[in-house]
Amino acid sequence: MSHDLFEAARGAMAFAHAPYSNFPVGAAIRAEDGKVYTGANIENISFPQGWCAEPTAISHMIMGGAKKIIEMAVIAEKLPLCPPCGGCRQKIAEFASKETRIYLCDETGVKKTMTMDEMLPFSFETELLG
């Protein structure tokens, strides 16, 4: 099941706009509707005005009508097993559960699987705050 997310994330990475960092990243989400939503990082010369691959994928998911991340794959061209940055972890947590699986990939496939709780322990819990 995770292999198709790896392929989708790798395909999304090809659309990255990373002329300043030269650090393309791709992400793919499987949402509760069963569909896969993708994103790539899109940089802006006015740092930090660009956005990461993960929130790009989240925005596609929301605009597609889904609200819940079931699982997610992340891949970076120059850093195997690149985890989401701290800000992205909280953005993911907004639409995920503690059990949501996050797949960290290299150029050959999924190499590490973590739960959202492992990735961001002690996160703000949306069901308690909102």
The residues annotated as belonging to the active site are: 54
Tell me how far apart the alpha carbons of residues 95 and 22 are, in angstroms, rounded to a whole number.
Answer: 29
DSSP 50-106: SB-HHHHHHHHHHHTT---EEEEEEEESSSTT-PPPHHHHHHHHTT--TT-EEEEEE
